Amino acid sequence: MAKKKSTKFVCQSCGYESPKWMGRCPNCGSWNEMMEEMVVDKDDRRSRVSMTGTVAKAQLVQDVTISNETRVKTKLGELNRVLGGGVVPGSLVLIGGDPGIGKSTLLLQVSAQLNMTGGKVLYVTGEESATQIKLRATRLGVDGEKFYIYPETDMSAIRKTIEEIRPEYVIIDSIQTMNQPDITSAAGSVSQVRENTSELMKIAKTNNIAIFIVGHVTKEGALAGPRMLEHMVDTVLYFEGDRHQSFRILRAVKNRFGSTNEIGIFEMRESGLQEVLNPSEMFLEERLTGANGSSVVAAMEGTRPILVEIQALLTPTAFGNAKRTASGLDHNRVSLIMAVLEKRANLLLQNQDAYLKAAGGVRLDEPAIDLAIAISIASSYKERGTQATDCFIGEIGLTGEIRRVSHIEQRVKEAAKLGFERIFIPKNNIGGWTLPKEITVVGVETISEALKKALGD
């Protein structure tokens, strides 16, 4: 019996399907995004069948056995941290980032390290030839006995190769280049990305294969394709950084096997990506001593405290409305803190243009950075530099009070380890833990008190 073909219109922004064309998608509101696709109707109600022929079936919860398989650790400790402790067998990991940021380089290094642990690796590339991958592998010093390179975009051929080789790890670079022969739409379309990811998910879960998927991003910085792509995978990682600078940040925004607050920091070198073991020192290495508008905060990224310099520059505005610009900081948080300073600390900031940034390209969004932002703003406004050995931690309330923050002990220890001599913390955080002897802990209750002690008002 011949297979029936059906026509449907799919929104290329959100994946909404309609039997007829519409100028505007009723789901996301995008215009002229409904594209016609010819789909071959087939019986896709298949059970999950592994390569050994085992078919999934319903079981009582007490009859389900838990294997003692441990996470596989790579030599990149920063990657292990972001993944939650290492690579989980049977997991589906999506890595997104700007072009040229280093996604393929990272996965090529990880592939070689996983191969050294005894696992068989299949690197599927749809964007480069085997010769190009070999040239990069030679430059990075990557080699292995069970490391396969497969330049292919046909998903059915990729599945057959996986069944023949039976690897423990599979790299797909990238998901937007893969295509299903039964779907007539172009590679990278919503239907293609959805079906290919669904196929890879079945392979990973039924055969206990860890699969890494490279995903393209749009010009807005979001992962290309339907939002369903992020829901289907186990872990979503974003590779961030300026391609003109050497430092890269790997951030988890979804992780079923670990925390979503962890970040990993790498440095791009000629020999590949090298992990940065002491990111606090990296963020502070170019700080000017005694500069106005500078302060240091001990921020938490997951379980790791990181010391970051916050810079502020205030200049008299030349127009009626003062300008507020923030890089690496929440714009609304900056506006709120400036309002509190004007009302509770008697600083006339309404006629000042304010430019703030978190140095080093890191992004901070936790409440504990409020006090450091306020000190930087006041330091620039009064043209008084803070002491180079001072660190600031605390959340600021609308009434001007300094509120307690979490993980205070780890933050203070990190500041003491890097040689800071004085740290300002909320007064309510003092007590219940042992204060370190190598750093002076100053408890403050209000923003006015903090400004007086920090800037000598």
- Binding-site positions for ATP read 97-104
Whether residue 410 contacts residue 305, with contact meaning beta carbons closer than 8 Å, is answered with yes
CB atoms within 10 A of CB 1: 3
Question: Looking at residue 260, what DSSP letter applies?
Answer: S
CA 26 to chain CA centroid, Å, is 31
Residues at the binding site are: 97-104
3-class SS shares of the chain: helix, strand, coil, % to 5 = 30, 30, 45
Instruction: Kindly report the length of the chain.
Output: 457
Query: What is the end-to-end Cα distance of the chain in Å, rounded?
Result: 87
Separation between Cα atoms, residue 284 and residue 288, nearest integer Å: 9
d(C-alpha 167, C-alpha 160), whole Å: 12
* 191 DSSP assignment: H
Q: β-pairing, 395-396 with 402-403?
A: antiparallel
Is residue 191 within 8 Å of 176, Cβ to Cβ? no
Torsion of CA 111, 117, 122, 128, to 10 degrees: 20
DSSP 198: H
Strands (E), 256-394: 263-269, 272-275, 294-301, 304-316, 324-327, 352-358, 390-392
> What b/e string do you get for 367-403 counting C-beta neighbours within 10 Å, with b at 16 or more?
ebbbbbbbbbbbbbbbebbbebbbbbbbbbeeebbbb
> Which residue in 193, 152, 134, 145 sits closest to 167, CA to CA?
145
Q: What is the DSSP string of 121-173?
A: EEEEESSS-HHHHHHHHHHHT---TTEEEEE--BHHHHHHHHHHH--SEEEEE
Residues 6+ apart with CB under 8 A from 320: none
In contact, 158 and 204? CB cutoff 8 Å = no
